[in-house]
Amino acid sequence: MVQEYDIIVIGGGITGAGVARDASMRGLKTLLVERHDLTDGATGRNHGLLHSGARYAVTDSESASECIRENMILRRIASHCVEQTDGLFITLPEDDLGYQATFIESCRKAGINAFAIDPKEAIRLEPSVNKSLIGAVRVPDGAVDPFRLTVANVVDAQLHGAEVLTYKQVTSILKDDSGRVTGIEVTDFHTKQQKKYYSKIVINAAGIWGHGIAQMAGAQVNMFPAKGALLIFGHRVNNMVLNRCRKPADADILVPGDTICLIGTTSSRVPFEEVDNMNVTPQEVEVLMREGEKLAPSLASTRILRAYAGVRPLVAADNDPSGRSISRGIVCLDHETRDGIPGFISITGGKLMTYRLMAEWAVDLACKKLGVDRKCETAEVCLPGSSSTPQEQPRVGTTIGQRAARGRHGERTSQISLSSDTDRSIVCECEEVSVGEVNYAIEKLGVTGLVDMRRRTRVGMGTCQGELCACRAAGLLAKADGCAQKAISNVAEFLNERWKGIRPIAWGETLCEAQFTSWIYEGVCGLGTPQEK
């Protein structure tokens, strides 16, 4: 049976999820395809900053203006994904205090409410900040959970009729005799079976991997793979976002999020061959620690949970070796007018903060080509989980349920079963994830493995990094799937994935805990066969 759609979206990151939501809300029959799990790429590997745009105000005013407009939209439509912390841009004695005036003026021109405050007031507002600061500017930064935000967009797309396929890798772009793109061919990641899907328009929203997707269609998109490394600390040091008030540089931002905080980022160009396997080097860890301590000195004595890196999907034609001077602006390419390839659109560049606007541009173009006259409503309609005010959200009689309602699922917490002692039992102590929430993720959020589970519920993201909760979550997956052997392999895969982020910072207590985890799972639970390693 031939399956035909109005739009096929390639890429299950935040941009692809946003495109699928927008398209389905406009009544278009939509298919979203992702080669692994949702947020597997850059979306799941950033610092979770609710950008005010201030970071780019001096160097990229257009991106700054886009950021602040989308910042305000997300506060309204995605409240369960957002924490409104505000932020400080601080000047240290080694920085140029004169830059502060230029910074404030540029922010105001971009529409960002930035104003200088007394350094003493900055210390009062954020006690973790470096006490030697000589200047401070307050801006409307915040924190956003990219995993929740992406899943909320996907859930809404599905509620509007979209279909979602994960673990399906696009292996070719289909064309008819005239050269028009007519669909895609995919290979199932697990079974290796191939299947074709047809559509009137294919939208390439694959981030840095969009470079390869465009090549399949016969187009060239000049992508610049800029690697950024980050560190996650074991508890929340700061409650406001902390930035250095200077031109963008390495390790100049500390973002609070949930129970932890993150220092980032570095920026260096990497070959396309390496974008699927980003490793953080000891040198990058050293830079992040050295510069991070200047923002918040207590980081020097705070345990590092893990290191990780993502690749920014920048589009450029210059020779900037780091990518810092490249605009973070949105690039929407109509390959029919640009390359003579009808039926194919690429949406790339931009940032997590501007995903909704990127989706609007791409779907506007698709609708024009399809002759559909229906405006975008994604800036007005709240996402699932945020469609009621905090006062209207259901009251749940357990601490676990209240935590999930407050953060991970918003008013959709009412769909999580917490009626029995079993449902209320803890799976992950660090993040207070219950059996009921895990079962909800399996049944309603497309979870097929522990890595997916981590992204939907934060299982394994806390201090123990899966040491105590991986086996419990795997047991629930085995019960749902009916295959214990698959669950055992799942635990091995999950712990190996956790180890990738621990290895660059494996010293002191972190190394001891990693060894303890190994004893539990290899020694007690019997994991350690060659295929599981």
Is residue 294 predicted with pLDDT exceeding 90? yes
4-42+147-222+328-370: which CATH topology? FAD/NAD(P)-binding domain (3.50.50)
At 42-74, the pLDDT tens digits run 999 999 999 999 999 999 999 999 999 999 999
Contact by Cβ (8 Å): 14, 46: no
According to CATH, where is 3.30.9.10 located in the chain?
A: 83-143+224-315
Neighbours of 276 (CB within 10 A): 12
The whole-number pLDDT of residue 214 equals: 96
Of 152 and 490, which is predicted with more confidence? 152
At 1-58, the pLDDT tens digits run 667 999 999 999 999 999 999 999 999 999 999 999 999 999 999 999 999 999 999 9
Confidence of residue 327 (pLDDT cuts 50, 70, 90): low
Task: For the chain, state the CA radius of gyration.
Answer: 23
Cα separation of 50 and 86, whole Å?
9
Q: Which two tokens stand for residue 447?
A: 């979870």
**CA triple 449-452-455, angle to 5 deg:** 150
Mean pLDDT of 272-289: 92
Cα separation of 206 and 11, whole Å?
4
Mean pLDDT of 325-351: 89
The whole-number pLDDT of residue 64 equals: 94
Is residue 254 predicted with pLDDT exceeding 60? yes
Contact by Cβ (8 Å): 494, 467: no
Cα separation of 6 and 27, whole Å?
9
At 361-378, the pLDDT tens digits run 999 999 999 999 999 999
Mean pLDDT of 284-298: 95
Contact by Cβ (8 Å): 117, 136: yes
Cα separation of 375 and 237, whole Å?
43
3-state secondary structure 389-433: CCCCCCCCCCHHHHHHHHCCCHHHHHHCCCCCHHHHCEEECCCCE
CATH no., domain 83-143+224-315: 3.30.9.10
Question: Cβ contacts of residue 284 below 8 Å, gap of 6+?
Answer: 229, 266, 307, 309, 504
Of 314 and 441, which is predicted with more confidence? 441
Using a 10 angstrom Cβ sphere, with 0-12 exposed, 13-18 middle and 19 or more buried, the burial of residue 452 is: buried
527 CB-side CA count, 13 A: 24
**CA triple 463-468-474, angle to 5 deg:** 120
Which among 338, 329, 350 is positioned nearest to 19, based on CA atoms?
Answer: 350
Peptide bond into 265 cis (omega under 30): yes
Cα separation of 495 and 511, whole Å?
14
According to CATH, where is 3.50.50.60 located in the chain?
A: 4-42+147-222+328-370
DSSP state letter for 83: E
Cα separation of 10 and 202, whole Å?
8
Is residue 415 predicted with pLDDT exceeding 50? yes
Is residue 470 predicted with pLDDT exceeding 70? yes
The whole-number pLDDT of residue 17 equals: 98
The whole-number pLDDT of residue 193 equals: 96
- 278 Ramachandran zone, left/alpha/beta (phi>0; psi -120 to 50): beta
The overall average pLDDT reported for the chain is: 90
At 168-210, the pLDDT tens digits run 999 999 999 999 999 999 999 989 999 999 999 999 999 999 9
Cα separation of 257 and 82, whole Å?
9
Confidence of residue 238 (pLDDT cuts 50, 70, 90): very high
Question: Cβ contacts of residue 201 below 8 Å, gap of 6+?
Answer: 6, 7, 8, 181, 343, 344, 345, 366, 369, 370
Q: Which two tokens stand for residue 230?
A: 């980050």
Question: Cβ contacts of residue 124 below 8 Å, gap of 6+?
Answer: none
Cα separation of 270 and 314, whole Å?
12
Long-range contacts of 368-373 (CB under 8 A, 24+ apart): 369/200, 369/201, 369/336, 369/343, 370/6, 370/28, 370/200, 370/201, 372/26, 372/27, 372/28
Beta bridge partners of 333: 346
Cα separation of 322 and 316, whole Å?
12
Is residue 404 predicted with pLDDT exceeding 70? no
Confidence of residue 533 (pLDDT cuts 50, 70, 90): very low
At 214-231, the pLDDT tens digits run 999 999 998 888 899 999
Question: Using N-to-C axis directions, what is the helix angle for 508-518 and 484-502, rounded to 10°?
Answer: 160
Of 520 and 215, which is predicted with more confidence? 215
Confidence of residue 530 (pLDDT cuts 50, 70, 90): very low
Cα separation of 153 and 386, whole Å?
11
**CA triple 266-272-274, angle to 5 deg:** 65
Contact by Cβ (8 Å): 250, 267: yes
The whole-number pLDDT of residue 395 equals: 42
Residue whose entry in the numeric block shows the structure tokens 């780019």: 56
Where are any strands of DSSP class E within 316-366? 330-334, 344-349
Cα separation of 53 and 146, whole Å?
17
